Amino acid sequence: MWSYEKRLQFPVSIKEPNAKLAQVIMSQFGGPDGELAASQRYLSQRYSSPYREVSAILTDIGTEELAHMEMISAMVHQLTKNLSMEEIEESGFDKYYVDHTIGLWPQAAGGVPFNACVFQSKGDIITDLFEDMAAEQKARTTYDNILRLVHDNDICEPIRFLREREIVHFQRFGEALRIVQDKLDSQNFYAFNPGFDQCN
C-alpha cells in the first residue's frame, strides 16, 4: 500500500528549457543506474529478506527512490516544456520527439529503453545488499557526471540533493549488510543463504 503526497521531495523549478540537458538527465529516469531501476530493485528484493530491519530499509529506500524518480521526471518535463522546433532539431532531441513528443518515457541518455536486466533480485540478501551498495555508488557517479555538464543553478541544486541521498543510502545499506552478517556464521558468511537454506 502506498499513499501520495502532492509535492516533490526537493523543489524543482527550472526557468530555462534545455533539450540537450534533458536527454542527459533522462538517464536517471530510465537509464541503467537511474531512479526507476533503483525503486524496482529494492521493492522487489525486500520479500526475500529474512530480517525485518533489512526489509524495512529496502521498503523505505525503495519508496524514497519513487520520490527521486518524480524529481527527475519533473526536471525532464520542465527542461522540454516550450521548446521551439528549431531547438528540438538542433539539440538532437528530434529522435526522442518523433516517438514521444515531449512525454516522459524511461530510456537511457543513449536512447536504450529501460530494461529490468539493469537490476537483480537474487533471493539472497547478502548478494542483494552488495548489489544495492554498488548501485548507490553507480548512481552517485552518474550524478557527478551530470554535474560536470550542468551550469544552471536551477538544475544543479536538485541534482546535488539527489547525489547526497545516494551517499546516505550507501551508508544505510552498509549497516543493513552488517546486521545480516552479524546473524550468520562468522567463520563463513558466504556459504549460506539465510533466506533459503535452513538453519541447523
Residue 2 is a binding residue for other proteins (CB under 8 A): no
Listed ranges 39-47, 66-74, 141-149, 192-200: which one lies at the site for other proteins (CB under 8 A): 66-74
CA atoms within 13 Å, Cβ hemisphere of 172 = 19
H helices present in the chain, as ranges = 19-25, 27-30, 35-45, 52-80, 85-91, 94-100, 125-149, 153-182
CA distances from 1 to 6, 63, 144, 153 (A): 17, 11, 34, 36
- Residue count, binding to other proteins (CB under 8 A): 29
Residue 56 is a binding residue for other proteins (CB under 8 A): yes
Q: Which of 91, 87, 43, 37 is nearest to 63 (CA)?
A: 43
Tell which one of 18, 49, 78, 91 touches other proteins (CB under 8 A). Answer: 78
Listed ranges 37-45, 71-79, 105-113, 128-136: which one lies at the site for other proteins (CB under 8 A): 71-79
Question: Position of cell 518524480?
Answer: 70
Shortest reach from residue 8's CB to other proteins, in Å: 5
CA distances from 26 to 103, 132, 157 (A): 12, 21, 16
Tell which one of 1, 2, 3, 98 touches other proteins (CB under 8 A). Answer: 3
Q: In this structure, what C-alpha cell is assigned to residue 178? A: 552488517
Amino acid letter for position 190: Y
Shortest reach from residue 189's CB to other proteins, in Å: 18
Amino acid letter for position 77: H
Residue 12 is a binding residue for other proteins (CB under 8 A): yes
Tell which one of 157, 179, 181, 192 touches other proteins (CB under 8 A). Answer: 179
Listed ranges 58-66, 87-95, 120-128, 129-137: which one lies at the site for other proteins (CB under 8 A): 58-66
Geometric angle at alpha carbon 171, from 166 and 174, rounded to 5°: 120
CB nearer other proteins, residue 12 or residue 118: 12
Tell which one of 24, 126, 162, 176 touches other proteins (CB under 8 A). Answer: 176
Listed ranges 28-36, 72-80, 119-127, 188-196: which one lies at the site for other proteins (CB under 8 A): 72-80
